[in-house]
Chains A and B, each alone.
Chain A
Amino acid sequence: MRSLFAYTWDFEAIPDAMPLLLEGAWMTVKLTVITMVLSLVLGFVVCVMRLSRYRALRWPAYAYTELFRTTPLLVQIIWFFFVLPKTFDINIDVFAMGVLALTLNVSAFVTEIFRAGIQSVDRGQREAALSTGMTEWVAMRRIVIPQAVRRVVPLLGAVWISLFKDTSLVAVIGIHELMFEGRELALATYRPVETFTVVSLLYFALTYPQSLGLNWLYERYRVVD
């Protein structure tokens, strides 16, 4: 501990850099919101495939979720960074690339959450609905999904928070979000300790209220079986 206090802290460069860091934080928020919205849509589509009666739909959905959940997001991001320009032979904007990589990763987790939510609803509910003459789709929409939502919402909240932090990884392909700005600043000022302290605190200030919100969601949507 002795030497941490002996170290001469110098935060002089930070105030001037603050607007840049905040701009980075705004980009982090944008990335999170856009990715989450796209992931809810894609996750729903893949979940429908995953629960389909047809093997030809079930299998690709299964392969997709397992592949994306068992490889590191960082590897996926870098992979897309190399693959996309080569495949399409054009310069794709890094922002689009980052969003695509994040979305494909997060959607795999969202799919599993949707599936777990739907399957956690008692079978009898669906069977009863079908026996009263509802079609498969109506039973799903009116009976199963409303009950599944209670279990799904808190889990989606947890995905949201981990996505918020994971957006820091797209710094490596050059998207100017908070982590990217932090790394640039550390290099420019030769003050990595101070810079990463401030960057970490900024992340904490942004994420912690969300964690508190998540705890509230867990309380509110607690399922009593």
Chain B
Amino acid sequence: MGALSFSDYFRLLIDGLEITIVVSVFGLIGAVVIGLTVATLRMSRFRLVRFLGGLYIDFFRSTPLFAQLLWLFYVLPILTGFSFSAQVAGTIGLALYEAAFFAEIFRAGILAVPRGQREAALSTGMTRVQTSRRIVLPQAIRTMLPPGTSATVTLIKDSSLVSFVGVTDLLYQANSLAAVTLDPIGVLTVAALLYFALCYPITVAANWMQRRLTLKTA
């Protein structure tokens, strides 16, 4: 292996960064959809459905993502009969895990909307679905946005774990380059700075939103 120049390995790290972004974006979409579904189950009128929603949240929040990813990586092919690429399996695992946290954020946001709003909407003749969509959710979003944004930062950081099931994300590239370039510190520092560049703006946005939204409600 010849000596890699800085621009060579920087390009490989950027390739990894792209994968990290793709995995995070799809992971986020999955986590929001599953999270909203689980939050709905958790608040159902039926006890059994509520219990199942609660079980999902408790189980996924009480085991490490690392264990879940490895488990899923081996179980998914058995469960479905198909073989999955590492990237798909990793994204599914990430989405399933973070969904439990999103579900709790959604639930807290919905519960924060005063009961009267919902009752008033129902009494004007709106259906339950209309009430949720037009009255409750738009108000709940305000409460959900700041914690949802920090959960997104957590999701991006957690996406680094998929490198251990073979997804060629930023950390994976950094690890391979660390072995090849004989400059592990340089490579990993650059990788860490790339993660920082990805997450820091979101943190700043979250802080700004938090201040703005609390000011408005106060």
The complex places the Cα of A171 from the Cα of B70 at a distance, in Å, of: 13
- Determine whether B196 belongs to the interface, using a CB cutoff of 8 Å to chain A: yes
The complex places the Cα of A7 from the Cα of B81 at a distance, in Å, of: 10
- Determine whether B29 belongs to the interface, using a CB cutoff of 8 Å to chain A: no
- Determine whether A95 belongs to the interface, using a CB cutoff of 8 Å to chain B: no
Closest Cβ of chain A to B77, distance in Å, is 9
The segment out of A14-22, A123-131, A145-153, A162-170 that lies at the interface is: A162-170
- Determine whether A64 belongs to the interface, using a CB cutoff of 8 Å to chain B: no
The segment out of B55-63, B83-91, B114-122, B131-139 that lies at the interface is: B55-63
Interface string of A167-192 (1 = CB under 8 A from B): 01101100000010011001000001
- Whether the Cβ atoms of A200 and B196 lie closer than 8 Å is no
- Whether the Cβ atoms of A79 and B62 lie closer than 8 Å is no
- Whether the Cβ atoms of A207 and B71 lie closer than 8 Å is no
Interface string of B189-211 (1 = CB under 8 A from A): 10110011001100100000000
- Determine whether A34 belongs to the interface, using a CB cutoff of 8 Å to chain B: no
The complex places the Cα of A183 from the Cα of B74 at a distance, in Å, of: 12
- Determine whether A199 belongs to the interface, using a CB cutoff of 8 Å to chain B: yes
Would A71 and B157 be within 8 Å (CB), given that A78-B188, A83-B185, A203-B63 are in contact? yes
- Determine whether B160 belongs to the interface, using a CB cutoff of 8 Å to chain A: yes
Q: What is the size, in residues, of chain A's interface with B at 8 Å between Cβ atoms?
A: 42
- Determine whether A208 belongs to the interface, using a CB cutoff of 8 Å to chain B: yes
- Determine whether A132 belongs to the interface, using a CB cutoff of 8 Å to chain B: no
* B175 surroundings in chain A (CB, below 8 A): 78
* A172 surroundings in chain B (CB, below 8 A): 164
Interface string of B61-83 (1 = CB under 8 A from A): 11111111011001100111100
The complex places the Cα of A171 from the Cα of B178 at a distance, in Å, of: 18
- Whether the Cβ atoms of A69 and B203 lie closer than 8 Å is yes
The complex places the Cα of A74 from the Cα of B165 at a distance, in Å, of: 14
- Whether the Cβ atoms of B78 and A193 lie closer than 8 Å is yes
- Determine whether B148 belongs to the interface, using a CB cutoff of 8 Å to chain A: no
- Whether the Cβ atoms of A200 and B71 lie closer than 8 Å is yes
* A183 surroundings in chain B (CB, below 8 A): 70
- Whether the Cβ atoms of B188 and A75 lie closer than 8 Å is yes
- Whether the Cβ atoms of B203 and A82 lie closer than 8 Å is no
- Whether the Cβ atoms of A72 and B157 lie closer than 8 Å is yes
- Whether the Cβ atoms of A74 and B200 lie closer than 8 Å is no
Closest Cβ of chain A to B201, distance in Å, is 9
- Determine whether B161 belongs to the interface, using a CB cutoff of 8 Å to chain A: yes
Contact with B153, one of A70, A73, A171, A192 (Cβ below 8 angstroms): A70
- Whether the Cβ atoms of B74 and A203 lie closer than 8 Å is no
- Whether the Cβ atoms of B199 and A207 lie closer than 8 Å is no
* A1 surroundings in chain B (CB, below 8 A): 79
Would A82 and B188 be within 8 Å (CB), given that A66-B203, A74-B160, A196-B74 are in contact? yes
Closest Cβ of chain A to B148, distance in Å, is 16
Who on chain B is nearest to A76 by CB?
B192
- Determine whether B174 belongs to the interface, using a CB cutoff of 8 Å to chain A: yes
- Whether the Cβ atoms of A165 and B63 lie closer than 8 Å is yes
- Whether the Cβ atoms of B196 and A72 lie closer than 8 Å is no
Please report B residues at the A interface, Cβ cutoff 8 Å: 58-59, 61-68, 70-71, 74-75, 78-81, 153, 157-161, 163-164, 171, 174-175, 178, 184-185, 188-189, 191-192, 195-196, 199-200, 203
Query: Would you give 10 A-B contacts (Cβ < 8 Å), ordered by A?
Result: A70-B199, A70-B200, A71-B192, A75-B191, A82-B185, A165-B65, A169-B64, A200-B67, A203-B64, A204-B62
Task: Other than A70-B203, A74-B161, give 6 A-B pairs with Cβ distance below 8 A.
Answer: A86-B185, A165-B63, A182-B67, A192-B74, A199-B67, A199-B71
